[in-house]
Amino acid sequence: MPRPIRAFIDLFALRHNFSVARRHAGSARLWAVVKANAYGHGLERTVRALHDLADGFALIELERAIALREAGLTKPLLMLEGCYAASDVPLFIRHRLIPVIHRREQLDWLLASRWPAELPVYLKLNTGMNRLGFDTAALLNAKSALAGRHIDCVLMTHFADADGPRGIDWQLERFRVMTSGMSEPTSLGNSATILRYPESVGDWARPGIMLYGGSPFPQAKSAAELELRPVMTLQSEIVAVQGLAAGESIGYGCTFVADRPMRVGIVACGYADGYPRHAVTGTSILVAGQRTRTLGRVSMDKLCVDLTDLPPEVGAGVPVTLWGEGLPADEVATAAGTISYELFCALAPRVPVMEIG
């Protein structure tokens, strides 16, 4: 028998979450963001599930974009970091990939090629994230160069705190100043912007984490409150049960010590499967559909759960949900001091994946 851990990907939930993005974004067109193997959910299955809904797909990895084209995908593909070398440009042209240009060298590579005038480019503006993007002077030069070749562009920026207290107004004002007098289409909104500032998403919005059932602001509003459904559910089983006397410890480092007699279940899941090693004692987990807690350190292939207050028949072979249906990934991530994005992306290749829908 194979090891009992598996991940379930609910494509019905994925399509539902896209419909939530569509409703909030109004008339804006939507790039479904599928970088990092669709946040760990599987690029090909995600594109297949959203093919008739999304206006296009946004990713970073050139080889994955080419694979989608070779598989027959004709929808627009947006490359969020553009070209990494001049040798990429012919591949962008051949496969009709739309680059996000964020520095002058990328623009020079494009202008030195036979870039087709009908294939647009995105110009990324640095309005305060301070990672990538043009300042005002460089933007004006880039627009002028593209206009000289009759190449259309979309003006894009990325918000640093759309999910936080500072919000987006300060960056929106910078964007308006930088683009004063310009009439090109815009792309502004990620998931947090779509849900919190739907009037400011621009002409092309870019939903990411919300598609996969994660909340962009889990401390303020849960995914369920945002009408989002979990797409990935990670499940396993209890493979053994141990009894602890008061004063005994369990796991590496002896970080958990029982203060009373306890029953402990050993679950076939560890950090080599993608469960966060830094999840602390007390992280929520579902055993036979009942909420309990983890105990001690997560090891490579196993973790421990508290069965003390569960019925005595709960033992080896009983199903366990690590996150997903019934237990939000955001909750597990928060307990581990991280975000659901990391949990999803860290799903290990050794975990079998099953599709629903």
Where in the sequence numbering do the catalytic residues fall? Answer: 35, 252
- Phi–psi pair at 175, nearest 5 degrees: -60, -45
Residue with tokens 């579902």: 286
Buried b (16+ CB within 10 A) or exposed e, 100-124: bbbeeebbebbeeeebeeebbbbbb
**Structure tokens given for 222:** 């849960």
Task: Kindly give the pairing relationship between strand 97-101 and strand 121-124.
Answer: parallel
> Are the CB atoms for 220 and 50 separated by under 8 Å?
no
The helix (run of H) or strand (run of E) holding residue 123 is strand 121-124
Residue with tokens 């659901």: 340
Buried b (16+ CB within 10 A) or exposed e, 321-334: bbbbbebbbbbbbb
Picking from 270, 314, 332, the residue whose alpha carbon sits closest to that of residue 3 is 270
Q: How far apart are CA 350 and CA 27, in angstroms?
A: 41
In the chain, helix, strand, coil percent, each to 5?
30, 25, 45
The helix (run of H) or strand (run of E) holding residue 260 is none
Residue with tokens 């004692």: 281
Q: How far apart are CA 149 and CA 273, in angstroms?
A: 50
> Are the CB atoms for 256 and 249 separated by under 8 Å?
yes
Q: How far apart are CA 282 and CA 293, in angstroms?
A: 5
